[in-house]
Amino acid sequence: MLSSLGYILSGPRLKLLTNDVNNFSDNSHRQFVASSLDTSPLPGSLALKIAALLVFALQIPVVHAQQSFKLGDTNLTPTLRLDYVTVDNAYRSSDDPIEASGLIVSPSVSWAADRRLLQLSAGYSGRYGSYDESVLDFNDHRIDFSVDSSPRSRHRLRASFVLDRGHEQAGTGQTRFVANVEDQIETTNTSLNLEYVYGASNAQGNVGAGIIFTTDSYDNLEEITGGDDNSAVRPYVNFSYRLSPDTRLVAETRFGVVDYDDNRRGRSDISFLLGADLRATARSGGQIRLGVTNADYDTEGVEDTSTAVADIDLYFSPRSFSRFNLGFNRDLNTVDNDTAGVQQSTVDTLGISWSQEWSSRLSSRLGYELERFERTCPSNGTDTGVLSLEVGVNIRRWVSVGLTASNSQRTVGDCSGLRQPGAADYDVNNLGAFINVTL
């Protein structure tokens, strides 16, 4: 799969384990990651705070399970989560950290209907943040809809649509090297996926084809984001062969045309991938894709390039109360444009999480994500790591409370020699408490 598109359903998909880590990331709606495991200890004061929080949490009989109720022949699941958060380096500065605290309100509602040959689902989720540093305030919204139809056993149709309005936190994304930012960048992303599969789900062979349309737009700070709006069209075809009841071998070809407002950064590409789909069971499941992408850039004089790509999304549950998730993605991300001309960029993303139910009431989730953003000199690459912990307690069937903690670290390469060592690095610690209610 290709990370810049956020593929969904059974076509190419991006799954960075964002449901298996807490809310404290470099981006409000995605967790970014770095290049290798960071084994450095947490700062002493933070470690003591986390220890105190865990001692308190373990004294409370926790896990938050979503409850749904019937709406005719369908299921409706409304939830509301409140987070109080503190951050010790709100603007991700290397030498002048500023503390901030705030309240995040996260309402959501999901709806699902299953009529044997037709499955429908829709949902809305929002995140509204208010901080004592007003620059950090935000309001994010996400709407999604999907349909899965099997009019006949050999014919399956799938469609999905996502509208995601979010933001980039100060010091990340487009403002990663910008000082004294007066606002956070607001983004609007859309994705439409249409797919047809020929062959019964248990047939020896299946053939599928689909197309994905995506748009990414930046809604403010034109002086920083000018030319970065882009759209993409990506058709794909795949063939799968059943090796065993639980495993399918998959061969896939993906095409793409990416168009930027800044025409110098447009490109077309083609990807060839091989892998396997592992049928979801109580113990394991997921998908593996490995291959190569060849990119042809619109700017004259930029050579075609080939890049190894990967998309791995696996889970394993050694016990019914314990689950491990592993995700890895490598792909083209964007095209840098600077005084040296247009150059290729790649992103390697690794996510690992462990979810554990210690009792019928107490649960925890530990996550670690790494991102390496490789750019061609004189653009500077970045390595970012996020370690997060959440402990939750079900105090009633419909309400849970808990504590969260995370540490985010970034290191920036400087091939140009224009910066002092560490001038753009940061270290950010977050602590919080939450209450989650199923209405």
pLDDT in tens, 296-325: 888 776 777 788 999 999 999 999 999 999
CB 187 within 8 A of CB 30: no
Angle at 286 between CA 319 and CA 369, to 5 degrees: 85
Distance CA 71, CA 331 (A): 42
Sign of the four-CA dihedral 327, 333, 339, 340: positive
Summarize the confidence of residues 45-60 as an average pLDDT: 40
Distance CA 332, CA 346 (A): 4
pLDDT at site 27: 35
Distance CA 181, CA 92 (A): 11
pLDDT in tens, 206-241: 999 999 999 999 998 888 888 889 999 999 999 999
Which residue in the block uniquely carries the two structure tokens 């409850």? 67
Cβ partners under 8 Å of residue 134, min gap 6:
none
Instruction: Give 257-300 as a DSSP string.
Output: EEEESSGGG-EEEEEEEEEEEEPP-SSEEEEEEEEEEEEEESST
Distance CA 201, CA 248 (A): 11
CB 399 within 8 A of CB 436: yes
Distance CA 190, CA 164 (A): 6
> At 48, which helix (H) or strand (E)?
helix 44-58
Give the confidence band of 341 by pLDDT, cuts at 50, 70, 90.
low
Omega cis (within 30) before 378: yes
Summarize the confidence of residues 147-152 as an average pLDDT: 90
pLDDT in tens, 54-69: 434 333 333 444 566 7
> At 138, which helix (H) or strand (E)?
strand 138-152
Cβ partners under 8 Å of residue 300, min gap 6:
none
Give the confidence band of 153 by pLDDT, cuts at 50, 70, 90.
confident
Q: Which of 35-39, 119-123, 166-170, 267-271 has the lowest mean pLDDT?
A: 35-39
pLDDT at site 5: 36
Greater confidence (91 vs 273) lies with 273
Domain ranges of the chain: 18-438
Greater confidence (102 vs 43) lies with 102
Give the confidence band of 384 by pLDDT, cuts at 50, 70, 90.
very high
CATH for 18-438 is 2.40.160
